[in-house]
Amino acid sequence: MPRIRANNLFDSFKYAVEGIGYTIKTQRNMRLHLTVGIIVFIVSLYLQISRIELAILTMVVTMVIVAEMFNTAIESTIDLYSRQRHPLAKIAKDVAAAAVLISAISSALVGLLILGPPLWELLKNWLDFK
């Protein structure tokens, strides 16, 4: 089962897909980030935002997903080293989790800046219609 490195490009992609699958299967927050990302993408298409705005939203959503994957890798590595509680292990895990939190907050702010105005207009039009 242990492997040192991929033998070829196909194996590299296979291992990467396995990593994505592992993170989705085992990390509740990863599933949440993916769900929010899909909702943001659907809303963006519905609102017909510009391609540059869609690209920006794609980048910030991807940033959160990548941060969550790094967090999972860091936590797994620490758990592999030792299951005992240690102040330095706690610091490493807390800092990795904080990186995810900061990227998620930043992503939400960017999302509000881009999607907020058209959503507000849509809501105003809907309320005027009623």
Residues known to be catalytic? 68
- Distance, in Å, from the CA atom of 126 to the CA atom of 114, rounded to the nearest integer, reads 20
What are the residue ranges of helices labelled H in the chain?
9-26, 28-47, 51-81, 87-129
In the chain, % helix, strand, coil (3-state, to 5) comes to 85, 0, 15
φ, ψ (nearest 5 deg) of residue 3: -135, 145
